[in-house]
Amino acid sequence: MTDTLRESDSGLSGKVAIVTGGGAAGDGIGNGRAAAILLARAGTRVLVVDRDSGLAQRTVDMITAEGGTASGWAADVTDEKQCEAMVEKAVALYGRLDFLDNNVGIGSRGSVVEETPANWRRLMQVNVETMFLAAKHAIPAMIRTAGGGAIVNVSSISALRPRGLTAYTTSKGAVIALTRAMAVDHGPDGIRVNCVAPGPVYTPMVYAPGMSHAARDQRRRASVLGREGTGWDVGHAVRFLLSDHARYITGQTLVVDGGTTLVGPSRESQPQH
């Protein structure tokens, strides 16, 4: 490899990625859908995974309409057998596996006093265990079929700045710790592992339950840039970290929040991404 990379030498073309949580409501652009589309635009073949096959297929349709290559796959990634089958499907379709974007997550509010044990366990299962299970089966396939690869786990700025979302904050903090541990464990295998921590980006996960114009504007103003973030901002960060432009970066957390974490937290005014 030369000392410098041209813009076109991202190392993404011809590669294969699994994007979990790759669907989104309607034509909305969530973090996973954005990453899948951006990877496909760079020439990566993408297996779009979502619990809802229809949402995954809509992402596939958006990719193929632009001339990209993608397939949909329905899986509940809280189930190890389905994670194993997901990886097997990617390899069967495309002959290799290079990238994994671990994008599944749910939110919760409240302190340890207010939280229920059942919901606590569910947060840990969906937000942390899914990433463990997907990586557990993806890593051997990357080593075997591609001689290495790259993984991005999606965390949240809640892991860095608690604000009344204790179970969620704990789970997203665990994602950062998992990322760092995996980077150490699998660097010798040629696998880089990094993390993206989004701020209050405007995605279907956030606005589908209903959001007032005032609440949306308050989230925008939380950024020191005074600018609203979207799923595209997170998707671009994921694509960068998977690309050869990030070939010397591993075990790191890239904060994508418009500077929100630079100013004082507000417990109630900034819901999770």
List, in order, residues 6 or more apart from 122 with CB less than 8 Å away.
106
pLDDT, tens digit, for every residue of 158-187?
Answer: 999 998 899 999 999 999 999 999 999 999
Residue 208 lies in a domain: yes
What pLDDT does residue 215 have? 77
Residue 161, domain CATH:
3.40.50.720
Residues 82 and 72: beta-carbon distance below 8 Å: no
Residue 182 lies in a domain: yes
What pLDDT does residue 78 have? 98
pTM (2 d.p.): 0.92
What pLDDT does residue 63 have? 98
Domain that holds residue 188: 16-258
What pLDDT does residue 203 have? 75
Residue 263 lies in a domain: no
Task: Give me the phi and psi of 23, to 5 degrees please.
Answer: -95, 175
94, 168, 202, 248: the catalytic one is: 168
Residue 3 lies in a domain: no
Which residues of the chain carry a pLDDT beneath 70?
1-8, 208-209, 264-273
Residue 9 lies in a domain: no
Residues 163 and 176: beta-carbon distance below 8 Å: no
Residue 5 lies in a domain: no
Q: Is 248 a catalytic residue?
A: no
What pLDDT does residue 31 have? 96
How many domains does one find in the chain? 1
The CA distance from 229 to 127, in Å, is 22
Residue 201 lies in a domain: yes
Residues 178 and 153: beta-carbon distance below 8 Å: yes
The CA distance from 17 to 37, in Å, is 11
Residue 7 lies in a domain: no
Integer CA distances (angstroms), 230 to 95, 206, 238, 254, in order: 33, 11, 13, 15
